[in-house]
Structure 1
Amino acid sequence: MSRLIVVSNRVSAPRGSHSGAQGGLAVALSAALQEYRGIWFGWSGEVTDQFTGQISFEREHGVTTATIDLEPQDVEEYYDGYANRTLWPLFHYRVDLAEFERGFADGYQRVNERFAQTLMPLIEPDDVVWIQDYHLLPLGQELRRRGARERMGFFLHIPWPPRRLLSTLPVAEELVRTLFAYDVIGFQTDEWLQSFLDYVREEMGGHIEGDHVVLGERRIRVMACPIGIDAENFAQLARSPQARMAYRNMRDSAVGRDMIIGVDRLDYSKGLEERFLGYERFLKEHPAARKEVFLLQIAPPSRAAVESYRIIRASLDSLSGRVNGAYADLDWVPIRYVNQGYSRDVLAGVYRAAKIGLVTPLRDGMNLVAKEYVAAQDPEDPGVLILSRFAGAASQLTAAVLVNPHSAEEISDAIMTALRMRREERIERWRSLMDNVEREDVVWWRQTFVSALMGEDQALLVDSEPSGD
């Protein structure tokens, strides 16, 4: 059996099947690595004065991790710079926030070369390499340049932008061309897949043959393969002692009021400002319902070194203060705004206690919070999921109350609709949502992609790298 080499920007070492802190992607990749005797390679999250390429190996719960440290300049240019100040905003349709600095692009290329240089000696004949996300788009090409002939796949966890937006990126065509070093490329939704194909067809002269795309002498498989959660595990987690305690604490603190829950990393793509404005609109339009609800927004900070993230944090501090100042009473605060993270078992209990799950990103590759909210619900008395039309999950979770997150009116109306929804309708909608969450879970995602990667005929390789470079 072939080994599976997983590569990601950061490595999340497995912490055991009962750890409430273990993320969904980490669980999925750990399971794949256990099955295929693989290695998980990536950045340790630590910095070093001088890059040496030294690898730190660890083995825990059947998974071998291999990590390297990066220099401060690498982190500044590759991670904080090109990945999160250029690609992230652009791929989330925020070209107004994208920063096009040559130094960022140079650092991004340098770190991808360092990944390839360090990883190459670890790859054995017949291994299969699976590279994750936008941080490492050109890594496959760098491995090919160093002689890698093994099958390689790439999965993009975030949206792929429309052709006109992507064209604003300097040397966009060269970056896209690097993807033709892979044998299989996966996207979260058909929308993101079609945007990729549109760019290749219209800007690069490629053509489509079924589920393959051809550019010059390269023919690669492309697929929409939405990631899921471990639905069974998360539903069990919602009944764990820690989750039950969190559930009781939230119900006690609600004192009979209905809770609306939002859980998002602090990021402009998550639509938190628009969410607060929509909730404010609800409070203004429905004075009789004000003290019957409250919004709990959990938003742990991220990427504090990036200016746009400092700006959104200041904006949300101001917005939550304004809403609470205008509407709070002696015994009620409309918004509980918390800037810290919680373990998955605690969150499962919080989800279960919430009458409404408010998931309103402006653009999101998938959004697993929506699926976790569904999985955590009580089948006999489930809450209602309000979901942005622009989250990748919306193409699967069609029984949610779908909204335009840019519209405060739609968010306000959706909250009232959810509060008034009869139990029978809530159960019917939840059952439809849960069917999808269970059917297309993280195991399905992993098996679907890995099967395509291991089962396809070898793509034509004329040289050790894609033609045209």
Structure 2
Amino acid sequence: TSPATALNQPLESTEQVPASRLSALLGPNGRVLIVANRLPVTAKRHPVKKWEYPSSSGGLVSALQGLKDVQMMWVGWPGVSVPNETGQTVITEELFKRRCVPVFLDEELMDQYYSGYCNKILWPLFHYLGLPQEYKINKEKDIKSQFEAYTQANQMFAETVCKIYKEGDIIWCHDYHLMCLPKLLKQYNINMKVGWFLHTPFPSSEMYRALPNRAELLEAVLKADLVGFHAYDYARHFVSACISLLGLEGCLDGIQFDGRIVKVDAFPIGIDAQRFTKALEGPKVKEKITEFKKLFAGRKT
């Protein structure tokens, strides 16, 4: 069975997923398909069981644990490169039980797309560190090859989403790793409901204009129906970049683009407060609290 065929295979009964086909996850109002670089679980090789699936760490996973009564499906990289089809099939079937769909990226692509363009170009620029000096001197070819890998990876994410998409689903794309994704999804189905949320700052237009392919990325993001940021300043910087670099017009709700209004707004992410409150009652936490009380006894707080 190939990974693609596994999409239509029955799922075993678990606490997370009903004992039925993947389509049974569709409620009357569809699902939220969360598309991010990493899945909430990581596939790891195990000497006995061959594979195990511990929870992934990261702010996105923690933030979305606060969502209640929402039928979700995750799409993302499983955290490991699996070159053979047999291994991919095993991982795909196991991740389906956890409401996850893997996007298998090989090591070379991950190096160029993730370690390269995402972490050496976008992340520093978005955090006002600018482009690394090594990329400013005769490195245009390197940036070009990394951007090609970036678009290729985004295309693979889009193809995976399209395989499981059902009418009524809402697709929620996350972070700077997937700026091309809204455009690619809309090319597949213009009626898809697509949102894109950035988990880092968005820099001022003066800083952003230093990025090669700056206009292409902005236009790709603007294919989303809703563009979200943590803070108002980040949303304002994005709108400013669209106005100054693309010559678009801003409005009260966002940006006028391609004959429609793209909603741009700030949506501060909180935490699952009940989860943290409940954790205070755990024996390990109580033990640590007692330890700290003894350690800091008599000191002013």
User: What does residue 73 of structure 2 align with?
Assistant: 39
> In structure 1, the residue corresponding to 2:228 is in which secondary structure?
strand
State the Cα distance separating 1:4 from its structure 2 match: 1.2
> Counterparts of 1:431-442 in structure 2 under 5 Å?
none
User: 2-side partners of 1:99 and 1:157: how far apart?
Assistant: 26
User: What does residue 4 of structure 1 align with?
Assistant: 32
1:74 touches 1:107 (CA, 8 Å); kept in 2?
yes
User: 2-side partners of 1:39 and 1:77: how far apart?
Assistant: 27
1:24 touches 1:230 (CA, 8 Å); kept in 2?
no
Counterpart residue identity of residue 157, structure 2: F
TM-score (norm 2): 0.75
> In structure 2, the residue corresponding to 1:45 is in which secondary structure?
coil
**Are residue 146 (structure 1) and residue 185 (structure 2) matched?**
no
User: 1-side partners of 2:177 and 2:195: how far apart?
Assistant: 14
- Choose from 172, 182, 193 the match for 2:235: 193
> Counterparts of 1:92-131 in structure 2 under 5 Å?
92-95=127-130, 97=132, 100=135, 101-131=143-173
Counterpart residue identity of residue 195, structure 2: G
State the Cα distance separating 1:50 from its structure 2 match: 6.7
User: 2-side partners of 1:5 and 1:38: how far apart?
Assistant: 6
Bigger Cα displacement from structure 2, 194-203 vs 211-220: 211-220
Counterpart residue identity of residue 272, structure 2: D
Counterpart residue identity of residue 118, structure 2: A
Change (3 A) 1:48 1:190: same
Change (3 A) 1:24 1:162: closer
Change (3 A) 1:6 1:235: same
State the Cα distance separating 1:86 from its structure 2 match: 0.7
State the Cα distance separating 1:99 from its structure 2 match: 6.2
1:85 touches 1:99 (CA, 8 Å); kept in 2?
no
Percent identity over the alignment is: 28
Bigger proportion of residues as helix: 1
**Are residue 64 (structure 1) and residue 112 (structure 2) matched?**
no
Q: Deviations over 1:159-185 (max 9, x none)?
A: 000001101101101111101110001
State the Cα distance separating 1:66 from its structure 2 match: 1.0
User: 2-side partners of 1:93 and 1:153: how far apart?
Assistant: 25
Q: Deviations over 1:315-374 (max 9, x none)?
A: xxxxxxxxxxxxxxxxxxxxxxxxxxxxxxxxxxxxxxxx5xxxxxxxxxxxxxxxxxxx
Q: Deviations over 1:72-94 (max 9, x none)?
A: 11111111111111111100000
Counterpart residue identity of residue 9, structure 1: N
User: What does residue 78 of structure 1 align with?
Assistant: 113
User: What does residue 26 of structure 1 align with?
Assistant: 61
State the Cα distance separating 1:120 from its structure 2 match: 0.9
> In structure 2, the residue corresponding to 1:46 is in which secondary structure?
coil
1:166 touches 1:172 (CA, 8 Å); kept in 2?
yes
User: What does residue 132 of structure 1 align with?
Assistant: 174
> In structure 1, the residue corresponding to 2:210 is in which secondary structure?
coil
Bigger Cα displacement from structure 2, 108-117 vs 212-221: 212-221
**Are residue 248 (structure 1) and residue 290 (structure 2) matched?**
yes
User: 1-side partners of 2:81 and 2:245: how far apart?
Assistant: 39
State the Cα distance separating 1:121 from its structure 2 match: 1.2
1:92 touches 1:159 (CA, 8 Å); kept in 2?
yes
Q: Which has the larger Rg?
A: 1
TM-score (norm 1): 0.49
Change (3 A) 1:99 1:225: farther
> In structure 2, the residue corresponding to 1:229 is in which secondary structure?
coil
**Are residue 155 (structure 1) and residue 206 (structure 2) matched?**
no
1:49 touches 1:71 (CA, 8 Å); kept in 2?
yes
Change (3 A) 1:124 1:99: farther
User: What does residue 319 of structure 1 align with?
Assistant: none
State the Cα distance separating 1:35 from its structure 2 match: 2.9
State the Cα distance separating 1:197 from its structure 2 match: 0.8
CA RMSD of aligned residues (A): 2.9
Where do 5+ consecutive residues of structure 1 fail to align?
A: 259-354, 356-469
User: 1-side partners of 2:81 and 2:123: how far apart?
Assistant: 22
User: 1-side partners of 2:114 and 2:82: how far apart?
Assistant: 15
> In structure 2, the residue corresponding to 1:95 is in which secondary structure?
coil
Change (3 A) 1:98 1:8: farther
State the Cα distance separating 1:250 from its structure 2 match: 3.2
State the Cα distance separating 1:51 from its structure 2 match: 8.7
User: 1-side partners of 2:104 and 2:251: how far apart?
Assistant: 42
State the Cα distance separating 1:127 from its structure 2 match: 1.2
Counterpart residue identity of residue 200, structure 1: C
Equivalent residue pairs, number: 252
Counterpart residue identity of residue 176, structure 1: L
2:185 touches 2:192 (CA, 8 Å); kept in 1?
no
> In structure 1, the residue corresponding to 2:207 is in which secondary structure?
helix
State the Cα distance separating 1:238 from its structure 2 match: 3.0
> In structure 2, the residue corresponding to 1:154 is in which secondary structure?
strand
User: What does residue 238 of structure 1 align with?
Assistant: 280
2:65 touches 2:272 (CA, 8 Å); kept in 1?
no
User: What does residue 214 of structure 1 align with?
Assistant: 256
